[in-house]
Chain A
Amino acid sequence: MKWKLKDILMIAIVGVLFSFLFLGANELGVMLTAALTPAGYGPLGYQIIYGAWFMAATFATYIIQKAGVGILAEIIAAALETMMGSMFGPSAILSGLIQGVGCELGFLVTAYKKFNTFTMILSSVFCSVISFIFEYYRFGYGVNTKQMLVLMLLCRTISSVLLTGIASKLLADQLANAGVLRGYKLGIKQSIKKNETKGAA
């Protein structure tokens, strides 16, 4: 597959911008963690904003509508993070890869034919579940009780569906409406649709 320089740049810049959103979310996460810690549920605080991590992947896939975008987006995001000095360093690449695979799976179900709310939500659920399984081993969640594990996964999935599935789709649709995406599949589809409705009227 041939990638264009402008696509690479787009994915990277979008990744950076979503990380700004994540910074806002991060404060929320810190506050929640602090609030929940006395009850022993501290780690849930971060799960609630976890969806913001995957936004770049589904967002870019929904716009470019090609196989492999999700993985590329997550790897680029992880690479940027590593270079900016993320606390997890090189292992961020690993989780990026895993999350990217999760994102791809959602669209693979329809053989990359459908890019709609359903596949976006499916993809977000895959992201959440797969990344959770990975972290189960990576951070040794095994020592937690079942109840805690279910709660964590639930929080992560809800946040993922809301942010990764729904919010990033809404954002992309708005961008297409604003005429910014004319160079991408989503924008082209949108403009064709508009022309058709105009023709019908």
Chain B
Amino acid sequence: MSQVPAIRGEHISFRYLEQGTRILEDVSITIPREKITVLMGSSGCGKSTLASVLCGLFPENGGVLESGEIYLCGDFITNLSVRDRAKRISMMFQNPDLQFCMATLREELYFCMENYCISPNEMEEKAIEAAKIMGTNHLLDQNIYSLSGGEKQRALLTCIYLMDAECIFLDEPFANLDPDGVQDLMGLLKDLCCKHKKTIIAIDHMSDHWQGIADRFVILKKKGQVLCEIEDPRDLPSYQALFLKEGIAYPGIWKKKEITLQEESKAILSFKNFSLPRIPEKTKKSSFLFFQKKKEIKKKTDYLLEDTTFHIPEGRISAILGKSGSGKSSLLMTLLKQRSYQGSILLTCKDLPKEYQTLSQKECFKHLSIAFQNPSNQFVSQNVIEEVSDGLRRLYPKKDKDEISSLSLKLLKTCKLEDYQNYSPYMLSQGQQRRLAVLSVLSGGQKILLLDEPTYGQDYRSAKALMDQVSKEVLENKITVLMTTHDRGLAAAYADHIFVLKDKKIKEVSKQ
């Protein structure tokens, strides 16, 4: 039995549109049983698409499979019912927001068990057990929409653990998780593979944390084709040139930024005795949701940040690291005046310190701008170049049309988006959208930019191009950047100051 591979795909050609380019072209891939396989490849090369095709979700839910055969544990995939398929393979998609259909994790777990016809009497016990193992028992009854990105990913892993399928396909499972949390989960995955005889396939842009865990690496090139298979992870260093050529990161690729700054810079944002409650108090009510008002268990005000004091220096890049769910996105939202806080924030612009609370939202937005964690919420127009020129026009009211468009093109070029200038932003891949979002924020002319995980899900090459552009703007225009990230290497490579959010305090750490 163990000779039969877990998944075998042969000569797969797939496209999304009736008449469009092929996303996958003649892809053949074999995944052996009871091993951990890591799939890597540049952004947009078709990894997620391949995953959905191999799991049988495409073409059933869209797209055209021109040719190709897929076998799951030896059986032809189209002969399997949805339920049988789910018993053999369960998948975690790239975007953690879009995978829940119930209100809380507990209900979601019950939903999974109901699908498998498990008796209702056993459900509660099983759910609690799975949550305990995955470290999500404190999240069981919290509303899913209020979970942080990383907590959602953990919750999804809980579902997958519970479903107990033979193969597990994970599409960037740790993109929103902190490195320590990842280490915990890695141990669990290894256990699943060794003790419970599961096959695990993971797509990831970062190879760092798979060292010592993965059994094999598969590198994909354009159109999803297999470029090479590395059967022994110890060989990894000898493939560095290949990794570089494909623009993917190998362990330790980021070089630490040299300190070139001499003079001390002033603080542009000073947080003094700053406290941020865990549950946002200032939620706008709407009559549509009138009855739905959440009966939230009123804990004795729990804080994400408590009585902490720190300063964000002007004209520098500051990175905030911290466990997922520690409150990084919430901090940025506070700066957009979306949440209430205690203590004080001073905004110093043109040597005039102003108390943040006294500023109107409009005044704040003159000074600061944000790139959201989800880039598709960011766009205000319907073609790529307009996204950038819109800001530039406001920034340089005197320039005429041609100058603006050539400036915009120059900016797009820095992130390799010039070919898409007349596309709708929504036709870009996730990674491209994220780059465009950051560019559009850069072009807005505000002096403080908040970037919420600007490089998550990007391959090395795009992340580097993007961060290089950001650094350039910072130097040239004295912009202040405050970014959150989970990638310590990247933070060390680009940030001038690194802050860590831990134990409800924010502290600056020196770069080792």
| A177-199 interface code vs B (CB 8 A; 1 in, 0 out) | 11110110000100110010000
* A6 within 8 Å of B (CB atoms): yes
Decide if B382 touches A177 in the complex (CB within 8 Å): yes
Which residue of B18, B289, B427 is within 8 Å of A178 (Cβ)?
A: B427
Decide if A177 touches B424 in the complex (CB within 8 Å): yes
* A36 within 8 Å of B (CB atoms): no
Knowing A84-B292, A85-B290, A183-B62 touch, does A178 contact B19 (C-beta < 8 A)?
no
Decide if A191 touches B19 in the complex (CB within 8 Å): yes
* B358 within 8 Å of A (CB atoms): no
Residues of B close to A19: CB separation below 8 A: 288
Residues of A close to B262: CB separation below 8 A: none
**B61, B288, B290, B425 — which one has the most chain A CB atoms within 10 A of its CB?**
B288
Knowing A85-B291, A85-B292, A178-B426 touch, does A191 contact B17 (C-beta < 8 A)?
yes
State A195–B17 Cα separation when bound (angstroms).
11
Q: How far is the CB of B419 from chain A (nearest CB, A)?
A: 15
Closest to A27 in B: B287
Q: How far is the CB of B225 from chain A (nearest CB, A)?
A: 23
* B20 within 8 Å of A (CB atoms): yes
Residues of B close to A195: CB separation below 8 A: 19
Residues of chain B from 45 to 63 with CB closer than 8 A to chain A in the complex: 61-62
Decide if A174 touches B382 in the complex (CB within 8 Å): yes
Q: How far is the CB of B280 from chain A (nearest CB, A)?
A: 19
State A84–B291 Cα separation when bound (angstroms).
7
| A77-92 interface code vs B (CB 8 A; 1 in, 0 out) | 0000000110000000
Closest to B286 in A: A23
Residues of A close to B426: CB separation below 8 A: 178-180
Q: How far is the CB of A11 from chain B (nearest CB, A)?
A: 15
Q: How far is the CB of B93 from chain A (nearest CB, A)?
A: 14
| B139-179 interface code vs A (CB 8 A; 1 in, 0 out) | 00000000000000000000000000000000000000000
Residues of B close to A174: CB separation below 8 A: 382
Closest to B290 in A: A85
Decide if B382 touches A26 in the complex (CB within 8 Å): no
* A118 within 8 Å of B (CB atoms): no
Decide if A182 touches B17 in the complex (CB within 8 Å): yes
* A20 within 8 Å of B (CB atoms): yes
Residues of A close to B19: CB separation below 8 A: 191-192, 195
Residues of B close to A191: CB separation below 8 A: 17-20
State A132–B20 Cα separation when bound (angstroms).
46
Residues of B close to A26: CB separation below 8 A: 287
State A19–B287 Cα separation when bound (angstroms).
11
Residues of B close to A192: CB separation below 8 A: 18-19
Q: How far is the CB of B430 from chain A (nearest CB, A)?
A: 14
Which residue of A20, A23, A177, A182 is within 8 Å of B62 (Cβ)?
A: A182
State A178–B433 Cα separation when bound (angstroms).
13
State A183–B16 Cα separation when bound (angstroms).
9
State A65–B427 Cα separation when bound (angstroms).
23
| A96-113 interface code vs B (CB 8 A; 1 in, 0 out) | 000000000000000000
Decide if A20 touches B288 in the complex (CB within 8 Å): yes
Residues of chain B from 1 to 51 with CB closer than 8 A to chain A in the complex: 16-20
Residues of A close to B61: CB separation below 8 A: 6, 183
Decide if A23 touches B17 in the complex (CB within 8 Å): no
Closest to B425 in A: A178
State A179–B17 Cα separation when bound (angstroms).
10
Residues of A close to B287: CB separation below 8 A: 23, 26
State A180–B376 Cα separation when bound (angstroms).
12
State A6–B382 Cα separation when bound (angstroms).
25
State A174–B424 Cα separation when bound (angstroms).
10
State A195–B18 Cα separation when bound (angstroms).
10
Closest to B20 in A: A191
Decide if B288 touches A182 in the complex (CB within 8 Å): no
Q: How far is the CB of A173 from chain B (nearest CB, A)?
A: 11
Closest to A183 in B: B62
| A21-59 interface code vs B (CB 8 A; 1 in, 0 out) | 001001000000000000000000000000000000000
**B19, B20, B61, B382 — which one has the most chain A CB atoms within 10 A of its CB?**
B19
State A26–B292 Cα separation when bound (angstroms).
19
State A180–B61 Cα separation when bound (angstroms).
14
State A82–B66 Cα separation when bound (angstroms).
44
Decide if B18 touches A188 in the complex (CB within 8 Å): yes
Q: How far is the CB of B395 from chain A (nearest CB, A)?
A: 26
Q: How far is the CB of B18 from chain A (nearest CB, A)?
A: 5
Residues of chain B from 262 to 298 with CB closer than 8 A to chain A in the complex: 286-292
Residues of B close to A182: CB separation below 8 A: 16-18, 62
Residues of B close to A179: CB separation below 8 A: 424, 426-427
Q: How far is the CB of A91 from chain B (nearest CB, A)?
A: 17
State A23–B290 Cα separation when bound (angstroms).
12
Residues of A close to B20: CB separation below 8 A: 191
State A85–B293 Cα separation when bound (angstroms).
11
Residues of B close to A180: CB separation below 8 A: 426
Q: How far is the CB of A171 from chain B (nearest CB, A)?
A: 12
Closest to B62 in A: A183
Q: How far is the CB of B379 from chain A (nearest CB, A)?
A: 10
Q: 12 extra interchain contacts, Cβ-Cβ under 8 A, other than A23-B287, A178-B382?
A: A6-B61, A19-B288, A84-B291, A85-B291, A85-B292, A174-B382, A178-B425, A178-B427, A182-B16, A183-B61, A183-B62, A192-B18
Q: 5 A-B contacts, Cβ less than 8 Å apart? A: A6-B61, A178-B426, A179-B426, A182-B17, A182-B18
Interface residue ranges, A against B (CB under 8 Å): 6, 19-20, 23, 26, 84-85, 174, 177-180, 182-183, 188, 191-192, 195
Going nearest first, the 9 A-B pairs with the smallest beta carbon separation are A85-B291, A178-B424, A183-B62, A179-B427, A178-B426, A195-B19, A182-B17, A188-B18, A191-B17
